[in-house]
Structure 1
Amino acid sequence: MESVAVEQFPSRTEKRQDGFNFLFFKRFVRLIPWLFPSWRSIPSLLLVFLLCLGLLEQYVIYNIGNVPSKYYKALGEKDHSAFWRLTGIAVSLIVSEAFIKSTTLYISTYLYLQWRDNITRHLHQKYFKEVLYYAINVVDKSVDNPDQRITQDVDKLCSTLSQIMAPLIISPFTIAYYIYKSHQSSGYLGPVSVLVFFIIGTVFNKLLMSPVVRLVFLREKMEGNFRYKHMQIRSNSESAAFYRSGKIEEGRTNHHLANLINTQRRLILREYALNFSVNTFDYLGSILSYIAIGVPIFLGTYDALSAPDLSALISANAFVMIYLINCFTTLIDLSVQVTNIAGTTHRVVELREKLEQLYDAQQSHEKNRPANMQGFGWSEMYVEEPTGHTETLLRKDQGYQVEAGSESETEDPPITALRVNDLTFVAPKSTEKLCIGLCFDFKQGVNILVTGDSGCGKSSLLRVINGIWPELRGTVTHGVEQLPHRLLYLPQRPYFTDGSLRQQVIYPLQEFDRLADTGESDDIVIEDLLSKSDLGHLKDRVGGLDTQVDWNWYDHLSPGEMQRLSFTRLFYHKPKFAVLDEATSQVGVDMEERLYSLCSQLGITLLSVGHRDTLRKYHHVELHIEKQGTWSLKPLSAGSNS
C-alpha cells in the first residue's frame, strides 16, 4: 500500500505564505463576506450585541474596580451607613458582571456556530461544484488534506475568532478611556510609561509569533496526514489483512506520528518562548502602576491629602493603571490565539483560492469547446446507406461495415451521445500520451466495447469523456446531457452514499425525487429491480427500503453485490446511454448475461470497458487501445444478434 508523502519541514516558499504577514490580512479580508453576509445577517447582529455587552461590561468593571478605594475611605472614616450601602452596590455589580460574562460566552458560542455553518456551506458550494472535489483530491493535489481544512480548520478558526473578536474591537475604546483616567491621577508619566511598555511587549511578541504561525500551519498538515493514514487502513483493512501487513503499516503509521510529534515539539518550544514573553509583561505590568503613582507622591504632589484619602487615591490609581495595562496585555495575550487564527485562515482561504483557480481553469477549458456537434473536420463515422436503412460504420482506413439494425423512414434519426474527434489525452501531470488522435461516435443502438491491456488508458478515456480529466488535444462533444435518465456512468468502483437502501438505488436523485408516472409505486419498481439483480434479500437484511443504516455499505456488501446494486441503480434510471467501467468484473458469467440482457430490454445503449471475451456478444464495435497510444476500431458481428 502506498504511504502518504510527508514534508517534515516547510519550504522557504511555504514560510512566506503561511506567516503572520500581509498575506494573512489579505486572506482574512476575503473571509469577511462569509463571516458577515450582510449588515442584517444573524452574525452581524450577534457581533453588535457582543460589542454592547462588552461596553456594558467595561462600565461594570470600572465601578467594581472603584469599590476597594471607596471601602478604604469608608473604613478609614468608620462610616457605617456608607459601608453597608457600598456592600449592596458591590454585590449588585458582581451579580451583573456574572450575568454579562455568562451571556457573552453564550452569544460567542452561538456566533461560532453561525460562522462555522456559513463558512462550511460556502466551501461546500465551491468544493462540490462540478467535479472540483475530484480535481483537488486526485488531479491537482497541490493543497493537502482538503477534508481536514473543511472540517477541523474551519472549526478552530471560527471557535477562536468568536472568543477574541469582541475584545479586539472594544480594546481601542477602553484603552483610550483609561489613558484619560490615568493622566488625571498620575499626569503624563502614567500613560506614557504604559504605552512604552506595550510597544516593547508588542515588538518582542511579534518576533516570536511568526514562527509559531508557521508551525501551527505545518502541525495541521501533519495532523491531516496522520489521520488520513488511519482512514486508509480503515477503508482497506480487508486488503491489508490478506497481506498480513500489520507490521509494515504500523511502521508507516508511526512514521506519520513521528513527523506530527516532532512538529508539535518544535511548536511547543516556540510557544514556550512566546508564553514566557507574554507572562513576563503581564506581571511587570502589575508593579508599573505603583511606580507611576510613586513618583508624584515622593515629589510631594499629594502631601495635602489625609491618610484615608491618599489610600483611596493609590487604590483608584492602581486600578486604573493596572486595568490600562491589562487592556494592553490582553492584546498581547491574544497574540497566542491570533497565531491559531492566522494558521487556520491561511489553510481555509488557500483551499478556497485553489477551488476558485480550478473552477476558472475548468470554465476556460469549457469555453474552448465547440457549442454543438457541427463543423468537425473528419468524415462521419456513421452514415446512411443510399440503398437501405441500415446504420453503417465507415472508416477510410478500414474497409468494414457494421449493421446495427433496421429503421423505417418515418423514425427519428438515432441520437449521438458522444462525438470524440482527434482526441489525445494524458494522465494529469504526465507527458506520456495514453491515446493519440482518437475518433469515434457513441450512437444510439450501437454498443461499443473498449478493450486493451491494463494501464493502456481505458478507464482514463472514460474520465476524459466524462469531463473530469482534460483532453490534451481534440474535442469530446456531448449530444445528451449527463443526467441520470439520459447518460449514466457506472465507475469501476461502485459508489454508495450514506443512508437507506432506497437512497442507494435512486442515487444521485434526492429522496423526494421519483420516477415518472409508470402506474406503479416507487417501492414496487425498486423491489422488482432488486429481485432481477438477485438482490431481493437486501431489503430484509437492512430492515426495509427506508431504514437509515449507520454502517458503511462497503463493509456489508460483497464486491459482486456492490456491482449488482450499481446495475439496479442503472435499471431504475433507465437512461438512453450508459458507460460501464469493468462493471461486471465481480459477477459470474450467468449474472453478466442477465444484466446485459436487461440493459438491452430497457433500450440502454452501452459503452463498456472490459477484459472478458464474453462481453463481445453484447456489443457491436470494439475500440482497442494499445499502450503506445495507437488504437483501432473493428466490428463485432455477434453484437448485432445479441
Structure 2
Amino acid sequence: MVETALTRQRLIHLLLKLPRECIGLNLDGVARSRIARVILEHLWQLVRNPNAPTNHRKRAQIIMITLVFSGATAVSGAGYLVCGLIGRLRARGFSQKPVIRRTRSQIMLHNGARVMYVPYEENADSKKRILIRPKNDDMYEHDKFLFKYFGKNKTSQVFYSKFISQLSIIYRILVPKIADRNSFLIAFQIFFLVMRTWLSLFVARLDGQIVRDIITGKSRKFLVDLLCWFLIAFPASYTNSAIKFLQRKLSLNFRINLTRYIHDMYLDKRLAFYKLTFDSQASSSVIANIDNSIANDVTKFCDAICSVFANIAKPVIDLVFFSVYLRDNLGSIGIVGIFVNYFITGYLLKRWTPPLGKLVSKRSAAEGDYYNYHLNLINNTEEIAFYHGTKVERTKVNALYDYLMDQMLLVDRVKVNYNILEDYVLKYTWSALGYVFASIPIVITTFTTGVNNEEVNMREFIVNKRLMLSLADAGSRLMHSIKDIAQLTGYTNRIFTLLAVLHRVHASDFNYGAILEDEKDLNVVDDQAPSTEIVRGTVQRSFNGIRLENIDVIIPSKYGKEGTKLVKKLRFQIPPVITLDNANSDSQVNMSQKLTFQGPGSSLLILGPNGCGKTSIQRIIAEIWPIYNKNGLLSVPANSELFCVPQKPYFIQGGTFREQIIYPMSADAFFEGGHRDKELVQILGEVHLDYFLRRGKGWKYLDAIAEWKDVLSGGERQRMNFARIMFHKPRFVVLDEATNAISADMEDYLFNLLRRYRYNFITISQRPSLIKYHDFALEITGDETWRLQDLGTDEVITSIEKEIETLQEKLKNVSAWDEERAALARKLAHI
C-alpha cells in the first residue's frame, strides 16, 4: 500500500511538473478542480500573446489545435449516435402503431416530384422518405443555349481555351448555385487543405527542434517535443482523412447531379433516347456507345475533376505558405530562384507532354465498343447458336479486344519518355537544388559574421530542408497535375459532347438531323436555324380519333423533306368521317364527298410489301417521326387513349410477371390506382394465358421475376400485348404484325375479342386474310401511292370472291399432288 501511494504521488508530481516544462505554467497551490480551467486560460493567453516565449507559444498552439479537433470529433460522434438512437426509437414507435405505411419504391406526384421510400440501416422494415423535386423543362431549354453557342465567337477573344470553356459550362450543372451543398463541400475541402499546410509548417519546425534536442543532448526538452509530436499527429491524421472523405463525397455528389441531369433529358416524354439515332451530328463514339458514356465516362470525369482539384489546390496552397515562410530564411533571391526553376520545369514538361486527352478519349471509345459487342452477344445468344456463328463472333471480339489493348498500351507507351524526364527533373534535380537553396542562409551568415553556430545552423538547415522538400513535393505534384489535366481534358470533351447532343435532341425544335439547303455544300449544321424551315407539319392532340391529312411519309435524315419518300399525301381517319365512292377509292379522292359519322369499333387494315412504309405510319401516329410537309396534319387522341403495339414485344428486364402485364404502368401506380391482382387474373383468362397461374404458385406467380423474353414463346409474347390492351383499355390501338406468331384459331379469337369490346384499331400486316376482321383496308403499293377501300363495298366483295376462287382452283390439284408424293415415297423405299 505504501509503495502504491508513493507511486501515485510521484505520478501526480510529474503531471503537475509537465505544464511548467511544456508551456511555462506553475500549478503549485492550484486546486485540482480548477486545474483544467487554469490550463485552458493559460493556453489561450499564450496563443494570443505574440510576445510570449516562442517555444511555449508553439506548444500552446499545438495543444489548442489538438483539443479543438478532439472536441469536434467527440461532438460529431455524439451527435451521430443521438440521431441514430432517435431514428431507431421512431422506427420502433411507427412499427407499433396500427397504421398502414407505404413500403413501395416511389410515388409520382401530380407536379412531377417523386416521393421515394428507401430502406435504411439493417432493418428492412425501416423506410426513409426522400422527396425529389420535379425537373424543370424550361431549365433544359435555357441550358441548351450554353451548348448551342459554345465557341461561336472564340476568334474575337484574346484568350480562348476549349477545355476551360467546356468545364465552365459543365460546372453549372455540378454546382448549380452558390448555396448548393457542393459549394460548402468545396469550401470545407479548401479549409482542410489550408489546415494541412499549416500543420505541415508546425511539423517542420517541431522536426528541427527534435533533431536539435537529440544532438545537444537535452533529454527533457526532447521528451516534451516528442509529446507535442504525438499531439499534433492527431489533427494531422484527422485532416488527411477529412480531405480524402470530402474528395470522395464531392465526386459522388457531382456524379449524382450530372447523372440526374442526363437522365432527365435522355429518358423523358420527348423520347431523346430514340431520337438520338436521327441526329446527323451524333456519329461520334460517345453517342454510339451512350450506355458506356453514361455509366463509365461520367464516373471517370467526376473522379478526375475532384482529383485534379485536390492535386492543384494543395500544391498551390503549399507553395504560397512555404514561400512566405522560406522568404524570411532564404531571402527574396532564393524564392525567385525557386519559382524560376518551377517555370522552366513547367515549360519543359508541357512541351514534352504527350496528347493524353486524345489518347484517353480513344481508349474510352474502344472500351465502349468492346463492351457493346459483348452486350450484343448476350442479347442474341440464341440466334448466334442457331447459326453456329461462334467462329465469326470470336474473330470480331478478338479484333475489338486487340484494338482496346493497343489503345491502352499506346497510352502507357507514350508516357515512357515523359516519365523519364519527369522523374529526373522532379526527383533528382529539384532535390539537389533544394540542398543548394537550404544552405544559402547558413553560408551567408557564416561568411558575413565569421561565426559558425552549429546548433542553430543545424536546426535552421533541418527546418529549411524539410520545407524545401515539401515545397519540391508541392511543385512536383503541380507538375504531375499537367498529366492529370490532359486526361481530364479527354473526359471533359466526351461529357460535353454527350450533353451537347442531348440538348440538341431534347430541344422542342429538334429537326431530326436535317441540313438546310444553303448549308449542304458547306457540310455544316446551323443550330440557329428555325425548325419551321425543316419540320413544318401540324400535330393536333386530344382528338376524338386518329386522322392523317396530306401527310408525306418520309424517312428522317439529314436531307429533311428531300429524303426517301415512302408514301405521298396519305389521308385516312379512324373512326371514319369520309364515305368513299367506289370510283374514287384511290389517292385522288375528292374531299367534297358526302361526310358521315361512324360509331366506335371501327378498324383499318394497312397492307403492303416489306419496306413500303407500313410501320412508318405507326411511327408518325406515335409522334416519333416528324411531318415535313407544311400542309400535313396529324390528329391523335390523348396519350391515355392510344396504345401502339410494336412488331417486337418488349419486356422489362428483371421485372415481375405483373409488371409485364401492366407495362408501361409501374407497380406503384398499379396499386395506387386501386387495381388488384384479380383484374389481371381475369385478363389472363381472356387471352388464354391463365395457365401460367397453375404452375404451382397460383397468384404468387404474378410476383415471379424472370427474363420473360426468354421464358415466353413468340406466340405468348404477342398474346401478352393483347393482355396489356385489355388492362389499359385504350380507345384506339395500333397493331404492327401483332399476330404473325400466333396460330390461326387463336388469331381469330383475339381479333374477335377486340371487336367484341369495340376497340378502334389499326392493324399493320402483309396478310390479306385479316381483311375479315376490319372495316377498311389501306393498301400501299410501294411506289408512294396508296389505295383506301371500304370493305363493305361491292368492289372489295368481288376481290375477295376472286381470291376464294383462286384458292379453290389450287385445291383441285391436291389429289395430283398426293399421287406425286406417294410416288416419291415408293422410290425412297426402294433406295
The aligned counterpart of 1:396 is none
Task: Specify whether residues 63 and 633 from structure 1 end up closer, same or farther in structure 2 by C-alpha distance, changes over 3 A only.
Answer: same
CA distance in 2, matches of 1:66, 1:516: 67
- Map 1:39-438 to 2 at 5 A: 39-129=178-268, 130-137=270-277, 140=280, 141-142=282-283, 143-209=287-353, 211-283=355-427, 284-299=429-444, 300=447, 303-360=450-507, 361-362=509-510, 365=531, 368-370=536-538, 372=540, 415-429=544-558, 431-438=563-570
The aligned counterpart of 2:624 is 468
Task: Specify whether residues 541 and 270 from structure 1 end up closer, same or farther in structure 2 by C-alpha distance, changes over 3 A only.
Answer: farther
**Structure 2: runs of 5 or more not aligned:** 1-153, 155-159, 512-529, 576-599, 798-831
Q: Cα offset for 1:52?
A: 1.7
The question of 1:561 aligning with 2:716 is answered yes
- The aligned amino acid for 2:171 is I
- The aligned amino acid for 2:634 is T
**Contact between 2:536 and 2:628, CA under 8 Å: does it hold in 1?**
no
Q: Cα offset for 1:170?
A: 4.5
**Contact between 2:292 and 2:368, CA under 8 Å: does it hold in 1?**
yes
Q: Cα offset for 1:117?
A: 1.3
2:667 partner SS: coil
- The aligned amino acid for 2:632 is T
Task: Specify whether residues 564 and 201 from structure 1 end up closer, same or farther in structure 2 by C-alpha distance, changes over 3 A only.
Answer: farther
CA RMSD of aligned residues (A): 2.8
Rg bigger for which structure? 2
Q: Cα offset for 1:245?
A: 0.5
Select between 172-181 and 236-245 the one with higher mean Cα deviation. 172-181
CA distance in 1, matches of 2:253, 2:495: 17
Q: Cα offset for 1:548?
A: 6.1
Quick one: which of 684, 702, 707 aligns to 1:530?
684
**Structure 1: runs of 5 or more not aligned:** 1-16, 375-413
- The aligned amino acid for 1:370 is T
Task: Specify whether residues 373 and 632 from structure 1 end up closer, same or farther in structure 2 by C-alpha distance, changes over 3 A only.
Answer: farther
CA distance in 2, matches of 1:487, 1:521: 20
- Map 1:622-633 to 2 at 5 A: 622-633=777-788
CA distance in 1, matches of 2:762, 2:349: 64
Task: Specify whether residues 533 and 201 from structure 1 end up closer, same or farther in structure 2 by C-alpha distance, changes over 3 A only.
Answer: farther
Aligned residue-pair number: 578
The aligned counterpart of 1:23 is 162
- The aligned amino acid for 1:351 is L
The aligned counterpart of 1:12 is none
Q: Cα offset for 1:266?
A: 1.7
The question of 1:479 aligning with 2:647 is answered no
Q: Cα offset for 1:347?
A: 1.0
Q: Cα offset for 1:150?
A: 0.7
Select between 422-431 and 120-129 the one with higher mean Cα deviation. 422-431
CA distance in 1, matches of 2:449, 2:273: 72
**Contact between 2:197 and 2:321, CA under 8 Å: does it hold in 1?**
no
CA distance in 1, matches of 2:784, 2:246: 62
2:478 partner SS: helix
CA distance in 2, matches of 1:259, 1:535: 48
Quick one: which of 503, 506, 509 aligns to 2:659?
503
The aligned counterpart of 1:583 is 738
Quick one: which of 458, 475, 478 aligns to 2:614?
458
Task: Specify whether residues 57 and 122 from structure 1 end up closer, same or farther in structure 2 by C-alpha distance, changes over 3 A only.
Answer: same
Q: Cα offset for 1:298?
A: 4.2
The aligned counterpart of 1:387 is none
**Contact between 1:35 and 1:118, CA under 8 Å: does it hold in 2?**
yes
**Contact between 2:548 and 2:573, CA under 8 Å: does it hold in 1?**
yes
- The aligned amino acid for 2:656 is S
Question: How much identity, in percent, do the aligned residues show?
Answer: 23
Give the TM-score taking structure 1 as reference length. 0.84
CA distance in 2, matches of 1:631, 1:28: 53
Task: Specify whether residues 240 and 502 from structure 1 end up closer, same or farther in structure 2 by C-alpha distance, changes over 3 A only.
Answer: same
CA distance in 2, matches of 1:137, 1:60: 55
Residue-by-residue CA offset, 1:365-410 (whole Å, 9 max, x unaligned): 5884436499xxxxxxxxxxxxxxxxxxxxxxxxxxxxxxxxxxxx
1:513 partner SS: helix
**Contact between 1:619 and 1:638, CA under 8 Å: does it hold in 2?**
no
Give the TM-score taking structure 2 as reference length. 0.65
- The aligned amino acid for 1:440 is F
Q: Cα offset for 1:464?
A: 2.6
